[in-house]
């Protein structure tokens, strides 16, 4: 059983509330919130105000993915009653251990993300501190990119480390996920699957979320 986290990066921003209502109706588990600053990644998306416009309109938890430099300066902005996870990139944090503790101090779950080219060894000494590891299966910045298949091997290795060390963080994957590669990544140990264009690009968004969810029931 995996959790589905549709990314609102690919939603219709002029009808964000309606799009979120659709994924909720279809059975999504989380709302993946992609925040981009134009520095860490070559694109700008939206900030906390857009996320907070959903407060009170959905009961789905927020899965906040910060693709920004200096995330410590903005963490508190993303803490709401709906916020379940805040994820920062190891590549964007000079003091990742400190930043993880900072996230936890706000009362939400702390997660770390790795770009496709970043080795697992970069997070070796914080694996016991995080609630989740996000493996990027595309280079962050845009929706609709092609899945980088080496991420599957990375997930298998991370799952092995998790078992060996008896740790209990969740594993999430993000980028290029479609109906036809979900099984491959969940078999590799992934428990939370992000999907942007393959959910919101569908003609029938509710039906597409149901299709995703039916894959593992």
What residue 189 binds from ligand DX5, Zn ion, none (CB within 5 to 8 A, per partner kind)?
none
Judged by CB under 6 A, does residue 111 bind ligand DX5?
Answer: no
CA 48 – CA 19 distance, rounded (Å):
18
Which range touches ligand DX5 (CB under 6 A), out of 17-25, 137-145, 149-157, 207-215?
137-145
Q: Of the residues 19, 63, 131, 174, which is catalytic? A: 174
Helix (H, G, I), strand (E, B) or coil at 50: helix
CA 176 – CA 25 distance, rounded (Å):
23
Helix (H, G, I), strand (E, B) or coil at 11: coil
Residue 174 falls in the annotated catalytic set: yes
Select the residue whose beta carbon is closest to ligand DX5 and give its number: 196
Judged by CB under 6 A, does residue 170 bind ligand DX5?
Answer: no
Among 176, 192, 193, 212, binds ligand DX5 (CB under 6 A): 176
> How many other CB atoms are there within 10 angstroms of residue 31's CB atom?
24
Q: What are the start-end ranges of the H helices in 46-127?
A: 48-52, 96-105
What residue 71 binds from ligand DX5, Zn ion, none (CB within 5 to 8 A, per partner kind)?
none
CA 195 – CA 182 distance, rounded (Å):
10
Backbone angles phi, psi at 163, to 5 degrees: -70, -50
When the beta carbons of 19 and 34 are compared against ligand DX5, the nearer one is 34
Q: What residues are paired with 174 via a beta bridge?
A: 136, 194
Q: Which two tokens stand for residue 92?
A: 């964007």
Residue 131 falls in the annotated catalytic set: no
Backbone angles phi, psi at 215, to 5 degrees: -65, -25
Among 32, 102, 109, 208, binds ligand DX5 (CB under 6 A): 32
Judged by CB under 5 A, does residue 102 bind Zn ion?
Answer: no
Q: Of the residues 19, 34, 63, 131, which is catalytic? A: 34
Chain contacts with Zn ion (rule: CB under 5 A): 34, 65, 174
Chain contacts with ligand DX5 (rule: CB under 6 A): 7, 9-10, 32, 34, 65, 138, 140-145, 174-177, 194-198
Query: Catalytic residue numbers?
Result: 34, 174
């Amino acid at each position: 059983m995996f959790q589905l986290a549709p990314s609102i990066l690919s939603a219709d921003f002029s009808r964000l509330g309606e799009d979120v209502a659709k994924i909720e109706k279809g059975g999504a588990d989380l709302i993946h919130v992609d925040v981009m600053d134009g520095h860490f990644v070559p694109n700008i998306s939206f900030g906390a105000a857009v996320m907070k416009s959903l407060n009170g309109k959905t009961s789905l938890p927020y899965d906040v993915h910060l693709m920004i430099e200096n995330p410590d300066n903005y963490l508190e902005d993303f803490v709401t009653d709906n916020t379940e996870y805040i994820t920062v990139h190891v590549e964007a944090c000079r003091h990742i251990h400190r930043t993880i503790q900072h996230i936890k101090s706000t009362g939400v779950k702390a997660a770390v993300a790795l770009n496709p080219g970043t080795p697992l060894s970069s997070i070796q000494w914080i694996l016991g501190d995080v609630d989740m590891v996000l493996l990027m299966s595309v280079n962050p910045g845009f929706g609709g990119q092609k899945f980088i298949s080496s991420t599957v091997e990375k997930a298998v290795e991370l799952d092995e480390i998790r078992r060996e060390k008896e740790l209990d963080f969740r594993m999430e994957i993000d980028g290029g996920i479609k109906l036809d590669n979900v099984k491959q990544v969940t078999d590799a140990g992934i428990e939370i699957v992000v999907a942007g264009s393959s959910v919101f690009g569908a003609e029938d968004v509710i039906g597409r979320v149901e299709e995703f969810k039916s894959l593992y029931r």
